[in-house]
Structure 1
Amino acid sequence: MGGPPIVIPVSALPDWHGCTQPGVISVGNRGAKALLLGDEPATTRFVSEHNLLLRWLAADRETELRDAAEAVLTDPKPLGRSAAPGRRTVRPS
Protein backbone atom coordinates (compact mmCIF):
# COMPACT_ATOMS: atom_id res chain seq x y z
CA MET A 1 0.00 0.00 0.00
CA GLY A 2 1.01 3.59 -0.19
CA GLY A 3 0.08 6.79 -1.88
CA PRO A 4 -0.55 10.32 -0.72
CA PRO A 5 -1.98 10.98 2.75
CA ILE A 6 -5.74 11.46 2.89
CA VAL A 7 -8.15 12.90 5.45
CA ILE A 8 -11.43 11.05 5.03
CA PRO A 9 -14.48 10.39 7.22
CA VAL A 10 -14.54 6.84 8.57
CA SER A 11 -18.06 6.47 7.17
CA ALA A 12 -16.70 7.06 3.64
CA LEU A 13 -13.92 4.45 3.82
CA PRO A 14 -15.99 1.69 2.14
CA ASP A 15 -16.47 4.02 -0.85
CA TRP A 16 -12.77 4.95 -1.14
CA HIS A 17 -11.11 3.33 -4.16
CA GLY A 18 -8.06 5.53 -4.53
CA CYS A 19 -7.18 8.73 -6.30
CA THR A 20 -3.99 10.62 -7.10
CA GLN A 21 -5.34 14.15 -7.74
CA PRO A 22 -4.61 16.30 -4.65
CA GLY A 23 -7.26 18.55 -3.22
CA VAL A 24 -10.79 18.21 -1.88
CA ILE A 25 -12.48 15.32 -3.68
CA SER A 26 -15.86 13.61 -3.63
CA VAL A 27 -15.97 10.06 -2.29
CA GLY A 28 -18.81 7.75 -3.26
CA ASN A 29 -22.29 8.95 -4.10
CA ARG A 30 -23.48 10.02 -0.62
CA GLY A 31 -21.87 13.48 -0.63
CA ALA A 32 -18.76 12.63 1.40
CA LYS A 33 -15.66 14.73 0.84
CA ALA A 34 -12.02 13.96 1.52
CA LEU A 35 -8.79 15.96 1.50
CA LEU A 36 -6.08 14.28 -0.53
CA LEU A 37 -2.64 15.75 0.12
CA GLY A 38 -0.04 15.89 -2.64
CA ASP A 39 2.20 12.86 -3.06
CA GLU A 40 5.35 14.69 -2.02
CA PRO A 41 7.88 12.78 0.05
CA ALA A 42 7.23 14.96 3.09
CA THR A 43 6.55 14.12 6.71
CA THR A 44 2.97 15.05 7.59
CA ARG A 45 1.71 15.43 11.14
CA PHE A 46 -1.70 16.23 12.61
CA VAL A 47 -1.34 18.81 15.39
CA SER A 48 -4.45 18.14 17.46
CA GLU A 49 -4.09 21.13 19.79
CA HIS A 50 -4.48 23.41 16.75
CA ASN A 51 -6.60 21.08 14.57
CA LEU A 52 -4.20 21.38 11.63
CA LEU A 53 -2.02 19.32 9.32
CA LEU A 54 1.64 20.28 9.18
CA ARG A 55 3.91 19.15 6.32
CA TRP A 56 7.67 19.33 6.44
CA LEU A 57 8.70 20.55 2.98
CA ALA A 58 11.61 22.94 3.34
CA ALA A 59 12.81 23.54 6.91
CA ASP A 60 16.32 22.33 7.69
CA ARG A 61 15.46 21.41 11.27
CA GLU A 62 12.29 20.37 13.07
CA THR A 63 12.62 23.36 15.40
CA GLU A 64 12.46 25.70 12.36
CA LEU A 65 9.28 23.96 11.21
CA ARG A 66 7.64 24.27 14.62
CA ASP A 67 8.73 27.91 15.00
CA ALA A 68 7.33 28.79 11.55
CA ALA A 69 4.03 27.04 12.33
CA GLU A 70 3.74 28.86 15.67
CA ALA A 71 4.47 32.18 13.93
CA VAL A 72 1.65 31.59 11.44
CA LEU A 73 -0.74 30.54 14.20
CA THR A 74 0.14 33.68 16.18
CA ASP A 75 -0.10 36.06 13.19
CA PRO A 76 -1.77 34.41 10.17
CA LYS A 77 -0.65 37.01 7.61
CA PRO A 78 1.15 35.21 4.75
CA LEU A 79 4.90 35.16 5.30
CA GLY A 80 5.81 33.82 1.89
CA ARG A 81 4.53 33.27 -1.62
CA SER A 82 1.62 30.84 -1.85
CA ALA A 83 2.54 27.77 -3.91
CA ALA A 84 -1.07 26.74 -4.57
CA PRO A 85 -4.56 27.70 -3.41
CA GLY A 86 -4.97 26.84 0.25
CA ARG A 87 -1.24 26.35 0.73
CA ARG A 88 1.27 28.75 2.22
CA THR A 89 5.02 28.67 2.28
CA VAL A 90 6.47 30.23 5.39
CA ARG A 91 9.98 31.39 6.09
CA PRO A 92 11.14 31.01 9.69
CA SER A 93 12.89 34.01 11.20
Structure 2
Amino acid sequence: MGHGCACTVCAMVRYAEPGAVEWVESGGGPLIAVPETVLPFWAGADGEETASDYDRACEVDGYCGLLPVGDSAALVLGDEPASTAFLPEHGMFVRWTAANSEDELLAEVPAAVATADWDDEVDWEVPGPVVLFDSAWPGTETGRTESLRVALEPGRYAVRAANVQPGPETWVGLVQLRRVAG
Protein backbone atom coordinates (compact mmCIF):
# COMPACT_ATOMS: atom_id res chain seq x y z
CA MET A 1 0.00 0.00 0.00
CA GLY A 2 1.12 3.56 -0.57
CA HIS A 3 2.91 2.71 -3.80
CA GLY A 4 0.30 4.32 -6.06
CA CYS A 5 -1.12 1.01 -7.27
CA ALA A 6 -4.80 0.60 -8.15
CA CYS A 7 -4.86 -3.18 -7.79
CA THR A 8 -7.81 -4.92 -6.17
CA VAL A 9 -5.90 -5.82 -3.01
CA CYS A 10 -4.85 -2.20 -2.42
CA ALA A 11 -8.36 -0.95 -3.15
CA MET A 12 -9.77 -3.40 -0.60
CA VAL A 13 -7.21 -2.28 1.97
CA ARG A 14 -8.03 1.37 1.27
CA TYR A 15 -11.74 0.78 2.00
CA ALA A 16 -10.80 -1.04 5.20
CA GLU A 17 -8.93 1.98 6.57
CA PRO A 18 -10.77 3.95 9.27
CA GLY A 19 -12.49 6.97 7.78
CA ALA A 20 -12.48 5.61 4.22
CA VAL A 21 -15.85 6.12 2.56
CA GLU A 22 -17.30 4.10 -0.31
CA TRP A 23 -19.41 6.07 -2.81
CA VAL A 24 -22.07 4.71 -5.18
CA GLU A 25 -23.06 6.45 -8.40
CA SER A 26 -25.89 5.92 -10.87
CA GLY A 27 -26.03 6.16 -14.63
CA GLY A 28 -28.38 9.14 -14.33
CA GLY A 29 -31.47 7.84 -12.54
CA PRO A 30 -32.27 7.57 -8.85
CA LEU A 31 -30.36 5.37 -6.43
CA ILE A 32 -32.42 2.90 -4.41
CA ALA A 33 -31.85 1.05 -1.13
CA VAL A 34 -33.55 -2.35 -1.39
CA PRO A 35 -33.74 -4.81 1.53
CA GLU A 36 -31.59 -7.86 0.74
CA THR A 37 -34.54 -10.18 1.36
CA VAL A 38 -36.49 -8.70 -1.59
CA LEU A 39 -33.64 -7.96 -4.04
CA PRO A 40 -34.88 -10.63 -6.51
CA PHE A 41 -38.22 -8.78 -6.77
CA TRP A 42 -36.63 -5.53 -8.06
CA ALA A 43 -36.62 -5.74 -11.89
CA GLY A 44 -34.96 -2.36 -12.55
CA ALA A 45 -35.55 -1.11 -16.10
CA ASP A 46 -36.32 -4.68 -17.26
CA GLY A 47 -39.74 -6.27 -17.27
CA GLU A 48 -42.87 -6.73 -19.31
CA GLU A 49 -44.90 -4.17 -17.37
CA THR A 50 -45.91 -0.90 -19.02
CA ALA A 51 -44.15 0.90 -16.17
CA SER A 52 -40.92 -0.76 -15.01
CA ASP A 53 -39.63 -0.64 -11.44
CA TYR A 54 -37.12 1.95 -12.69
CA ASP A 55 -40.01 4.08 -14.04
CA ARG A 56 -41.71 3.85 -10.63
CA ALA A 57 -38.48 4.98 -8.93
CA CYS A 58 -38.20 7.96 -11.29
CA GLU A 59 -41.72 9.08 -10.31
CA VAL A 60 -40.78 9.55 -6.63
CA ASP A 61 -41.01 13.26 -5.79
CA GLY A 62 -38.56 15.02 -3.50
CA TYR A 63 -35.36 13.83 -1.86
CA CYS A 64 -36.63 10.38 -0.86
CA GLY A 65 -39.66 8.13 -0.91
CA LEU A 66 -40.74 4.53 -0.43
CA LEU A 67 -41.77 1.99 -3.07
CA PRO A 68 -43.27 -1.44 -2.39
CA VAL A 69 -40.97 -4.32 -3.37
CA GLY A 70 -42.10 -7.88 -2.63
CA ASP A 71 -43.44 -7.94 0.93
CA SER A 72 -41.25 -4.98 1.93
CA ALA A 73 -40.38 -1.46 0.74
CA ALA A 74 -37.34 0.15 -0.84
CA LEU A 75 -36.06 3.66 -0.17
CA VAL A 76 -35.64 5.74 -3.33
CA LEU A 77 -33.11 8.56 -3.14
CA GLY A 78 -34.70 11.09 -5.48
CA ASP A 79 -33.92 14.61 -6.63
CA GLU A 80 -30.62 14.36 -8.51
CA PRO A 81 -28.37 11.34 -9.09
CA ALA A 82 -25.56 12.46 -6.76
CA SER A 83 -22.75 10.14 -5.61
CA THR A 84 -23.94 8.68 -2.31
CA ALA A 85 -22.27 7.08 0.71
CA PHE A 86 -23.61 5.78 4.01
CA LEU A 87 -22.06 7.15 7.22
CA PRO A 88 -22.99 4.67 9.98
CA GLU A 89 -21.77 7.03 12.71
CA HIS A 90 -24.46 9.53 11.60
CA GLY A 91 -27.01 6.89 10.50
CA MET A 92 -27.38 8.61 7.15
CA PHE A 93 -26.88 8.56 3.45
CA VAL A 94 -24.77 11.52 2.37
CA ARG A 95 -25.18 12.76 -1.21
CA TRP A 96 -22.29 14.65 -2.84
CA THR A 97 -24.01 17.51 -4.67
CA ALA A 98 -21.04 19.92 -4.75
CA ALA A 99 -17.69 20.08 -2.94
CA ASN A 100 -14.05 20.58 -3.85
CA SER A 101 -13.01 17.31 -2.18
CA GLU A 102 -14.33 14.33 -0.23
CA ASP A 103 -12.56 15.58 2.92
CA GLU A 104 -14.22 19.01 2.59
CA LEU A 105 -17.65 17.43 2.08
CA LEU A 106 -17.31 15.03 5.02
CA ALA A 107 -15.99 17.78 7.30
CA GLU A 108 -19.17 19.80 6.61
CA VAL A 109 -21.61 16.97 7.48
CA PRO A 110 -22.04 17.88 11.20
CA ALA A 111 -22.76 21.54 10.30
CA ALA A 112 -25.14 20.40 7.55
CA VAL A 113 -27.05 18.16 9.99
CA ALA A 114 -27.27 20.99 12.55
CA THR A 115 -28.65 23.52 10.04
CA ALA A 116 -30.80 21.23 7.86
CA ASP A 117 -34.37 22.18 7.02
CA TRP A 118 -35.74 18.62 6.99
CA ASP A 119 -38.60 17.39 4.80
CA ASP A 120 -41.46 15.45 6.40
CA GLU A 121 -40.46 12.05 7.79
CA VAL A 122 -41.53 8.74 6.31
CA ASP A 123 -41.70 5.46 8.25
CA TRP A 124 -39.63 2.64 6.74
CA GLU A 125 -40.00 -0.91 8.02
CA VAL A 126 -36.73 -2.74 7.31
CA PRO A 127 -36.31 -6.54 7.57
CA GLY A 128 -32.50 -6.21 7.85
CA PRO A 129 -29.56 -5.14 5.67
CA VAL A 130 -30.24 -3.15 2.49
CA VAL A 131 -28.28 -2.73 -0.74
CA LEU A 132 -27.87 0.71 -2.34
CA PHE A 133 -27.53 0.72 -6.14
CA ASP A 134 -28.67 2.33 -9.41
CA SER A 135 -32.42 1.70 -9.68
CA ALA A 136 -32.10 0.88 -13.40
CA TRP A 137 -30.39 -2.43 -12.49
CA PRO A 138 -32.29 -5.57 -11.47
CA GLY A 139 -31.73 -6.53 -7.84
CA THR A 140 -30.25 -9.86 -8.92
CA GLU A 141 -27.48 -8.02 -10.82
CA THR A 142 -26.12 -5.83 -7.99
CA GLY A 143 -22.86 -7.78 -8.03
CA ARG A 144 -22.21 -6.45 -11.55
CA THR A 145 -22.72 -2.77 -10.78
CA GLU A 146 -21.66 -0.29 -8.09
CA SER A 147 -23.51 -1.19 -4.93
CA LEU A 148 -23.14 -0.75 -1.21
CA ARG A 149 -24.47 -3.07 1.50
CA VAL A 150 -25.74 -1.19 4.54
CA ALA A 151 -26.08 -3.36 7.66
CA LEU A 152 -29.32 -2.05 9.18
CA GLU A 153 -30.90 -3.77 12.15
CA PRO A 154 -34.44 -5.06 11.48
CA GLY A 155 -37.13 -2.65 12.63
CA ARG A 156 -38.84 0.65 11.95
CA TYR A 157 -36.91 3.75 10.92
CA ALA A 158 -37.98 7.36 10.67
CA VAL A 159 -36.43 8.69 7.45
CA ARG A 160 -36.01 12.39 6.76
CA ALA A 161 -34.12 14.24 4.05
CA ALA A 162 -32.70 17.68 3.33
CA ASN A 163 -30.47 19.44 0.85
CA VAL A 164 -28.06 21.76 2.65
CA GLN A 165 -25.37 24.31 1.74
CA PRO A 166 -23.06 24.20 4.80
CA GLY A 167 -20.24 26.12 3.08
CA PRO A 168 -19.85 28.60 0.21
CA GLU A 169 -18.91 25.89 -2.31
CA THR A 170 -20.42 22.85 -0.60
CA TRP A 171 -23.89 21.39 -1.16
CA VAL A 172 -24.81 18.08 0.44
CA GLY A 173 -27.92 15.94 0.44
CA LEU A 174 -28.75 14.17 3.71
CA VAL A 175 -31.07 11.20 4.19
CA GLN A 176 -31.13 10.36 7.89
CA LEU A 177 -32.39 7.04 9.29
CA ARG A 178 -33.41 7.00 12.95
CA ARG A 179 -34.45 3.75 14.64
CA VAL A 180 -37.95 4.03 16.13
CA ALA A 181 -38.89 1.99 19.20
CA GLY A 182 -41.81 -0.39 18.99
- TM-score band by shorter chain is 0.5 to 0.7
Q: Which residue of 2 aligns with 1:77?
A: 115
**Alignment match of 2:89 (pick from 49, 57, 61):** 49
Q: Which residue of 2 aligns with 1:34?
A: 74
Gaps of 5+ in 1: none
Name whichever structure is richer in strand by fraction: 2
Q: Which residue of 1 aligns with 2:167?
A: 92
Mapped contact 2:32–2:77 kept (Cα < 8 A): yes
Report the CA distance between 1:62 and its aligned residue: 2.0
Distance in 1 (alpha carbons) for counterparts of 2:100 and 2:165: 13
* Structure of higher CA gyration radius: 2
**Alignment match of 2:107 (pick from 59, 67, 84):** 67
Mapped contact 1:5–1:39 kept (Cα < 8 A): no
Q: If the length of structure 2 is used for normalisation, what is the TM-score?
A: 0.39
Q: Percent identity?
A: 38
Tell me the number of residue pairs that the alignment of Structure 1 and Structure 2 aligns.
Answer: 86
Gaps of 5+ in 2: 1-26, 45-53, 121-160, 169-182
